[in-house]
Amino acid sequence: MEVLKERIRREGVNLGHGILKVDSFLNHQVDAWLMMLIGKEMARRMGRLGATKVLTAEISGIAPALMTAWALGIPVVYARKTKPITMPDHALCESAPSHTKGQQVELMVSPEFLTPDDRVLIIDDFLATGNTINALIRIVQQSGATLVGIGAIIEKSFEGGRAALEDLGVPVESLVVITDMSNGRIEFAD
């Protein structure tokens, strides 16, 4: 997706240690127009899968997941990182290490929003090590729903996350793939 690559080239900052700062359009300030394009493109690539729900993790995955769900005409569910009093005690819970937070993060979904009848498309902002996406996959499995696909806005292929997802037998799509961030670079796959 060339428009996304261009935004990363222009505004993305390589902070070292595999951390890409894209706060100006994806992770803090959100460019709604770009998210609309991202959602339409992800829906174009994944629409054939028959998803009934889009699942993501709070908070940076919400904008692209919401626009993908909008383009598909289905609801979006996001895994919460803190449990509100409105969530039942028997919530679907998993944890994953956070690269940017430097600690384990709990992800929780109310079981009323993911059921065995659902066909789930996971959408997240990054595919790096695959830890967050794997936690979301375990939540889907706990719910009894069917995982139909995984989409990432930005994949950092040098961190090996895709390999952690290969045995699932579902399509994995990334809109932009970054192959190298060493020495301050941001190198894209063709």
* Predicted local confidence at residue 97, as pLDDT: 86
* Predicted local confidence at residue 85, as pLDDT: 85
Residue ranges of the chain whose pLDDT lies below 50: none
* Predicted local confidence at residue 32, as pLDDT: 97
Quick check: helix, strand or coil at residue 26?
Answer: helix
pTM of the model: 0.95
Q: Nearest 5°: CA angle at 128, between 115 and 150?
A: 30
* Predicted local confidence at residue 41, as pLDDT: 98
* Predicted local confidence at residue 98, as pLDDT: 78
Pairing state of beta strands 146-156 and 19-21? unpaired
Quick check: helix, strand or coil at residue 29?
Answer: coil
Single-letter amino acid, residue 113 = F
Between 3.40.50.2020, 3.30.465.10, 2.30.42.10, 3.30.420.10, what CATH number should domain 36-177 receive? 3.40.50.2020
Single-letter amino acid, residue 4 = L
Cα separation of 15 and 115, whole Å?
40
